[in-house]
Structure 1
Amino acid sequence: MHTSRVALITGANQGIGFQIATDLSGHGFTVLLGSRDLARGEIAAREIGSNVVPLQLDVTDETSVTAAAERVRSDFGRLDVLVQNAAIATALTGEVTSQQLAHAGRPSVIPMQDIRRIWDTNVFGVLAVYQAMLPVMRLTPGARIVNISSGAGSLTLNAQSDFPLRSGFDAGYCASKTALNGLTLAMAIELEPEGIRVNAVSPGYTRTRLTGFAGTDTVEQGAAEAVRLALLEDRSPTGTFTHAEHGALPW
């Protein structure tokens, strides 16, 4: 078994995932930098440091997920932290404004192939990676999972008529994060007897490609809560939904 702690971050060649990989590398983890495009992952890994290993991982491809899990098991023999970060906001291509994004995701107009593509990455891909990585995590004392969700997926908040982001709640990205929250809670309940912690975090409105770089927060701020949960000791909470500054968020 690998002697240092091992963390896998999906979708880590850019944005929040890249920052989480950077931060955990700085805390002594061997970081497996998951990237759908291996070449981009290799470039990102070299930029961070020698203890970062690029790992080809397309969460929507069963063969890719299976191969990645086998490499984690055979090459490292442990997985202390799994950060499920890979996500897409839309199936649209090119530059998209927030207004276009909100309109395109409305339940009455979103094409079925588009919603399937979003949910395939943001929901089913998360479950596929969870199932593939769980056997090696069960061999790792104190293992934990952090799912990168969004406050935009909170049903409680969006049910309030005065919630400022309510009009943007869509059937694509936002509802996929609601579903991810449900998966997180199901995972936490399943694994609680085994001591594996599972939590969801909202990074906030972060300046990344996913937001068209229109966010108000830096990637360092967006990564902070996931990194905090990854570094907690064994007696840490499970089944929570939190934000770095706002604390506990309503499901």
Structure 2
Amino acid sequence: MTTTLITGANKGLGYETARRLVEAGHTVYVGARDPQRGREAAAKLGARFVQLDVTDQASVDAAAKTIEADGGLDVLVNNAGIESRGPNGEVPDAGGMTADDIRTVFETNVFGVVRVLHAFLPLLQRSDAPVVVNIGSGLGSLAKTEVPGSPHQQYPGVAYPVSKTAVNMITLKYAHAFPNMRINVVEPGYTATDLNKHTGHQTVEEGAEIIVRMAQIGPDGPTAAYVDAAGPLPW
């Protein structure tokens, strides 16, 4: 049986991905910072809960030990992510963005991904078919951001797009370093979640489709890919 860990899985895309993978027969660990919310989500899903705050090394290490003791890991979905918000809930633009704003977003979206990858690599390397799915964004595409008038170019925020560009490179470097693993980054699309105050035009069911698909690829599947539901994206 395939064992899967999803970070930030007590709500939104993480929750829907967990639901779908449980249905597909995976043993799913719902990773969540808040123990109460995580346990409630896991109980509803028929999944397992593991306390995991991607910004806390001790929390990540403890989660790795728990999952190792339970038998190991085959699939890791790095889903946890945040956006920078000002005092009134606005996304700071280039003129208002500070280094601290970017640092806060990177702590979860970039350093958190590396922290979790590093902790779980030994477990994944023992799997017969290890898979890593990093949740990216079209906002992280340099090529799309250079298209005049595109939503990617017009998006005012800086921290979130920059963090997702970093995730793209992290994905490539890990994929090339560990060719026995399938390591990819996916763009769920503009999905209505807490991250964007539910302004997205897609449902979580629609957004989770590509995550679920890439979490189930086999050893002959793609690696070092950047994709959405329609296919490859330009870096």
1:46 is aligned to 43
Structure-1 separation of matches of 2:14 and 2:4 = 12
Instruction: Name the TM-score, length of structure 1 as normaliser.
Output: 0.90
Distance 1:197 1:33 in 2: 21
Once residues 92 and 38 of structure 1 are traced to their aligned partners in structure 2, the CA distance between those partners, rounded to angstroms, is 27
TM-score between the two structures when normalised by the length of structure 2 = 0.96
Shift of 1:44: 0.5
2:177 corresponds to 1:190: yes
Query: How far off its partner does 1:164 sit?
Result: 3.0
Residue aligning to 1:129: 116
Decide whether the 8 Å contact of 2:138 with 2:152 is kept in 1: no
Map of 2:196 onto structure 1: 211
Matching residue's letter, 1:68: A
| Aligned residue number for residue 80 of structure 1 | 74
Write the distance in 2 (CA, Å) between the matches of 1:164 and 1:196: 33
Unpaired stretches in structure 2, ≥5 consecutive residues: none
SS in 2 for 1:203: coil
Aligned length: 235
CA deviation digits over 1:66-95, x for unaligned, max 9? 11111111122x21110000000124466x
User: Does structure 1 conserve the Cα–Cα contact (< 8 Å) formed by 2:73 and 2:127?
Assistant: yes
Decide whether aligned partners of structure 1 residues 47 and 92 sit closer, same or farther in structure 2, where only a CA change above 3 A counts: farther
Where does structure 1 lack aligned partners over 5 or more consecutive residues? none
2:59 corresponds in structure 1 to 64
Q: How does 1:4-153 map to 2 (within 5 A)?
A: 4-49=1-46, 52-76=47-71, 78-92=72-86, 96=89, 100-101=90-91, 104-106=92-94, 108-153=95-140
Identity %: 41
1:5 partner letter? T
- For the residue of structure 1 that corresponds to 2:70, the secondary structure is helix
The one-letter code sitting in structure 1 at the alignment partner of 2:66 is R
Residues 190 and 141 (structure 1), Cα distance of their counterparts in 2 relative to 1, 3 Å cut: same
Are the equivalent residues in 2 in contact too, given 1:204–1:243 (CA < 8 A)? yes
- Tell me, in whole angstroms, the C-alpha distance in 2 between the residues paired with 1:24 and 1:132: 22
- Give distance in 2, aligned partners of 1:93 and 1:48: 35
Give the residue type in structure 1 aligned to 2:129: G
Query: 1:17 & 1:197 partners in 2: Cα distance?
Result: 19
CA distance in 2 between counterparts of 1:105 and 1:65 reads 32
Greater shift in the superposed pair: 163-172 or 114-123 = 163-172
